[in-house]
Amino acid sequence: MLAQIGTTYTLAIDDNCAEKYQFMQGFERIRNLKLQPLQRIYNRIAALDVGSLPRMGAAQECIGPATKILNIDHHWTGSHFAHINLIDVYSSATSEILYDLCNALKLEITPMMAEALFVGILTDTGRFRFANTTARAMQICADLAARGVDAARLTERIYFDHPFETMRALTKALASLELYSDGQVSLMSLDMKDLVDDTEGFVEYGVAIKGVKLAAFLCEIGPDLWKVSLRSRCEIDVSVIAINFGGGGHLKAAGFRRRSKKDTLKTALLKAFEASLNSRLAS
């Protein structure tokens, strides 16, 4: 979120900003609302990559009756909750919309901005592998590379420079892998005692198994509080499943949060997966 009051701008996120992004210019300007809440009302707020108002989390406390909200997003399940909604579901990443906005407003894309926009597309396309890796996404990245963005360096810093404990946590998650529905569904979990700062990408291991069509990664981020990532490798739209659990996302990648016992959550998820696999066969 970017919030403005008078001439003061605040960049904030309602979560931990993963340490692997710390090398990026401007990282230190991002305020983590979990550690440093903002107790003031802002005149203007731009919500970025936020599918719905509740997803703003603690940032909602900065909204007053006169606050004007701009919503820039690309989620399929995104709602038009703001005064101005700039939503393009065909954009690979919110960064793609920001890139177009810079050009439309004739704003100079500085090296720092180019790097940030590139990282937005790099990470949201899963390193140019997901279905949202369009020609347009690649053209934008080509332009950003031509402006001096070092793609190899950024990829290495983000994907191949993990703290040892992240790898140890990954082994715990991998050890929990289970297959269901004749090998079409994989479930993986990480309990809170093994939780690390960054579990992004763990779910990709579950969905990369031969024969798997639907995968879920259950990560316990608080006592009995689960952050669930869903992936699809078939025509089943996991954002529909996520919506039923109070979340949202994209066709092939979605998620939600839920307070529950692990076994109850697993049973509910397996039921939802099984139902979508069955209705797929029926149609």
**CA–CA separation, 208 and 62 (whole Å):** 41
Place of tokens 């005149």: 43
Residue 239, H or E segment? helix 238-244
Site string for Mn ion, 120-159 (x = CB under 5 A): ----x-----------------------------------
Candidates 43-51, 170-178, 252-260, 261-269; binding stretch for Mn ion (CB under 5 A): 43-51
Residues 6+ positions from 186 with CB-CB distance below 8 Å: 177, 178, 179, 180, 206, 207, 209, 212, 214, 215, 216
Candidates 46-54, 137-145, 194-202, 215-223; binding stretch for Mn ion (CB under 5 A): 46-54
Question: For residue 215, what are the β-bridge partners?
Answer: 186, 231
Map residue 137 onto helix, strand or coil.
helix
Q: Does 49 bind Mn ion (CB under 5 A)?
A: yes
For the bound state, the minimum distance from the C-beta of residue 279 to Mn ion, rounded and expressed in Å, comes to 27
Site string for Mn ion, 174-213 (x = CB under 5 A): ----------------------------------------
For the bound state, the minimum distance from the C-beta of residue 229 to Mn ion, rounded and expressed in Å, comes to 13
User: Residue 232: is it exposed, middle or buried by C-beta count within 10 angstroms (0-12/13-18/19+)?
Assistant: buried
Q: How far is CA 86 from the centre of its chain?
A: 18
Q: Considering CB under 5 A, how many residues would be counted as binding Mn ion? A: 2
Nearer to Mn ion, 202 or 273 (CB): 202
For the bound state, the minimum distance from the C-beta of residue 155 to Mn ion, rounded and expressed in Å, comes to 18
Q: Does 96 bind Mn ion (CB under 5 A)?
A: no
Residues 6+ positions from 180 with CB-CB distance below 8 Å: 186, 187, 270, 273, 274
For the bound state, the minimum distance from the C-beta of residue 49 to Mn ion, rounded and expressed in Å, comes to 4
Candidates 16-24, 47-55, 107-115, 242-250; binding stretch for Mn ion (CB under 5 A): 47-55
Nearer to Mn ion, 115 or 124 (CB): 124
Q: Is 259 left (phi over 0), alpha (psi -120 to 50) or beta?
A: beta
**By the criterion CB under 5 A, which residues form the site for Mn ion?**
49, 124
